[in-house]
Structure 1
């Protein structure tokens, strides 16, 4: 089948109607793939060539219809990815080779699984993979990396010569809890006792909590959240990836997907977390505080969101990257997938051997974690 192919430097070149129509055929409702979220990253300058993220989206057209597309960036570093390849870059450098620039398909700063090979049908998806392979070779890149892809798409890329890498995240699953106490009742006694103690510490510190839906969040709420977010980065002697303009843009463009949890003490707002959700999944994203209160992070970023999931019958809460400590709060390990292609044959062979060993380690790690299941009995 003949397609008109394109490599675009801005999502605006595709346009919201065409992008949204293609997403509607994917049926996963992932808010991070939405035009609103991706365009906000680009328009706010958070994702731009001068920040090391140069958009280079792949697109296949049939007439005026967008048949397939892939979020793709030329990267000059490995920040904001959450599938770490710093050791690979270091090995290249030690051997006098350039690892950057590289190609990356991911949602910037967002370790959330979702479609990367967006296509209306199998034929268009196969053509998109062919276009990616042709582009990575024609551009002379050291490598291509497709992060947090669905397993089926990762396998399709493996058939095209990519190497697979697995990782672990922690997700909370809601079988239909009546309320937070019903959830606690399923946990081991010690885990249940610790959660109650953490929540009690926050309440006894005089902290009150409120949940603000996106449609009700005003500019003052977003300015507060950004202050908290930026302050927490500063306390860790780091620079935030996202700016106030980005938060204001998603607040205006996708309020139906947004939840802010705000903590106050003595009439003053002191902490906030931002969560993004679809109809069936809540995604923990960012948090920050202006002053320290013991256990406030757990209340703001975990327990309040869990209450939201229960109240709104949301089936899954993805708590973000890493974090074995989440298991004590009812989160269970889930495997993630990424796919990697390296142009240099010797390095590709060495990394493939490394990934084989790493996959075995990941599988053993997940088995070990499952042996430490925090529930008294399976909550099915």
Structure 2
């Protein structure tokens, strides 16, 4: 009997050995061409992505550069081939804004513009014009007990350094597509501001429940879309035919973007899960995009790329990149790839020539790292 037990033990050891060898073969065959992407501080002397064997791989999302910035970046914008990185800083109890112009190709900082009109100068997210020439920000003077007075808004021309200080504070809701003006909200009223005339040209009184969270135009400029999160609706103003309609059949609308003259991309929440819908305004129909996980979404200017960010826990996020294709009345959505295990929740920018950039906190307090990628289609 003891002899049989010893033989059984030998058979088990042999079986485990064979299973181990087979597992190793499967692992190598599956993962030998995979590259694991993670935001880590790499030593350039020991690893250079551009010189590695992975550079020549057929990748849809390819890392181009990692750019360290000795500042805390709040927002990113592509200005043609260069990047504009915007930060808020504090120095001797005075705050201001730094605007970095960066060349992603050689990772160089071309210019730094500093704005500090008052004791308190603060940048507003998404307040740069589509032309990348006008920046809106706020200023205030400091009083005792950490209170502020004389809260005002400033329109700054980045091209010629001229600016206008408005005698009021406002929330910027959306730009006119040609950057000639914008819609804002102040003291319970919605208003339209003309950049060339340097004044408010029209006002609309609103009830508290009618607060507008976001405004966008259709690509042809004939429709105006207004998102009201409190009332869970998007109002559509047909400026050509002077008519109004609304979208209210999607639960808990939190964001939207314009794909073309008849299609919107809408973010809603259903059973504690955020979903993305493609909404046809002409036929008043909606279609959910299955398999999309998101906390935030971004659409490229040419409407060909959808980028989503979702928080995965442990202070990490994942970026997914999709290609959008419009074919008659159909919208084709194709996933190009992912960038996993990003530290924190990044700020995103997408260029017109298929470049993606995001910024995260650096390894030291007050530092940031900007990652840039090239995006190519698999089709």
TM-score if structure 1 supplies the norm length? 0.20
The structure with the greater share of residues assigned to strand is 2
Bigger CA radius of gyration: 2
TM-score if structure 2 supplies the norm length? 0.20
The structure with the greater share of residues assigned to helix is 1
Considering Cα pairs closer than 8 Å and 6+ residues apart, tell me whether 1 or 2 has the greater RCO: 1
